[in-house]
Chain A
Amino acid sequence: MIYRNHNKTERLAVLAGAIRECQILKAMGANQDFQMDEEMRKTLHRAKIEGVKGGNNRLFRIARWQVQRNIGNGLPGMLWPDILHTLLKGMIEVVCGMSLQIVQRISKIDPLYATSMGRVDKAMANMLPTMQAFFPVRPYAFTRGIFDLIKDKSLHADKPVSSFMLGTNITQDFTCYHPTHL
């Protein structure tokens, strides 16, 4: 869904890093002449909304024929996928966290679904499939329920909250498969 031109992304990362460095130097008293431009602000904003961490990454300096010929695989295409940190701690964690937040929020909004949190907890505590049923997903006995695991203020808040507040390790409990638990 999100396709990028990696040449542009890397240039953006380097630029944003340089601007940040100038800001830090100014705050330390070294570079007093530096002033933020409108274009610099736009660059920093662009880096922020694209999720790019600013900085002069040394890996950018490696000669890479993919990038230099603009084929498009870029730096990420040169590495093998880190499934744990991109898929499990990324997409699947977000799905689990958002689903739980929705269940919690709806149980507060609508009296018809007031007991749904308890019912989910009960179902999670009582569900014990056989070990290899969902391979490679490992079944886990949540004896205290699932909502205890979320370190999120939205579970106790009446005010609206943002959806990017997931400090959890749910996915590791859910999905990490390793032979010590066989």
Chain B
Amino acid sequence: MQLMFAIGSEGIVPNTLSWYRKLNFKVCNNDGGSARKTPAKVYNVNKCIIFAMAAALEVYFWTKRPAMSEMNLTTYGNLIDNAHRHVFHLKILCTNILRLDLKKKAIDLAVSERNAVDPRMVTSSNKDHLIHHYKDMIQQYGNLGCLDTELGELFHKIVGKEAFANSNKQYGAELMQMANYVVKLQGNLLYPTFLLLATF
């Protein structure tokens, strides 16, 4: 959300279609350097990024809704399709911009062919497809509030970090240094608490 506002402000990325033509990059193969007639597709960068971010965030907001009717679920399915298409356009734009070879001033069309994935896929795993099952899942299980994995991950992270600090000299030492520093600042009042935190 913050990134969307930051990138969306004026002058961060070009908001016209003609900026790319002005740069005069050659379009060629990686091997022979022979010119190709078809230019790379570059969309309006600002709109492409903003649309993709807004669409993906909208899906997230709708996923966090406490309740949905059948009508809402239909809309939700359409929103997922919409987000997928916008992110797909962003992927095309990103690959086309990353193809630019800055030293040669040319476009390397062989770059995306190194990654042999289905061009319709946004991520390199089947997460894309799983998102399209959300509608069925909500119909089967109802509200997703209690089924979210974020809190469990957070607790796992905390437990993992604490166990790691106990088993790792450097990290544990850093924690002890932080505790000693706070003790120096605040006197001996909080010493038992921080000692407990550092060794727990």
**Residues on A facing B (Cβ under 8 Å):** 1-4, 45, 48-52, 73, 76-92, 94-96, 98-103, 105-106, 108-110, 112-113, 116, 119-120, 123-124, 127, 129, 134, 136-137, 139-140, 142, 146, 154, 158-164, 174-178, 180
Contact = CB atoms under 8 A, between A and B. Distances in A.
B56 A3 contact: no
Interface of chain A, main secondary structure: helix
A146 B3 CA distance: 9
Nearest to B52: A95
A45 B117 CA distance: 9
A83 to B, nearest CB: 6
Nearest to A176: B150
B90 to A, nearest CB: 5
B95 A163 contact: yes
B1 to A, nearest CB: 5
Interface of B: 1-3, 5-7, 9, 11-14, 19, 23, 45, 49, 52-53, 56-57, 59-61, 63-64, 81, 83-85, 87-88, 90-91, 93-95, 97-103, 108, 111-112, 114-118, 120-134, 136-138, 140-141, 144, 147-151, 153-154
A82 B127 CA distance: 10
Given A81-B134, A95-B56, A48 B13 contact: no
B147 A81 contact: yes
A98 B102 CA distance: 18
B60 A90 contact: no
A45 B116 contact: yes
Contacts of B151: 178
A137 B94 CA distance: 25
Contacts of A88: 60
A91 B122 contact: yes
B12 A119 contact: yes
B123 A90 contact: yes
Contacts of B140: 77-78, 80
Contacts of A81: 63, 130, 133-134, 137-138, 144, 147
A99 B89 CA distance: 12
Contacts of A49: 116-118, 121
A99 B121 contact: no
Nearest to B22: A110
Given A103-B12, A136-B61, A124 B154 contact: no
A171 B149 CA distance: 14
A107 B125 CA distance: 30
Contact of B90 (A3, A99, A140): A99
Contact of A160 (B5, B85, B101, B131): B101
B13 A1 contact: no
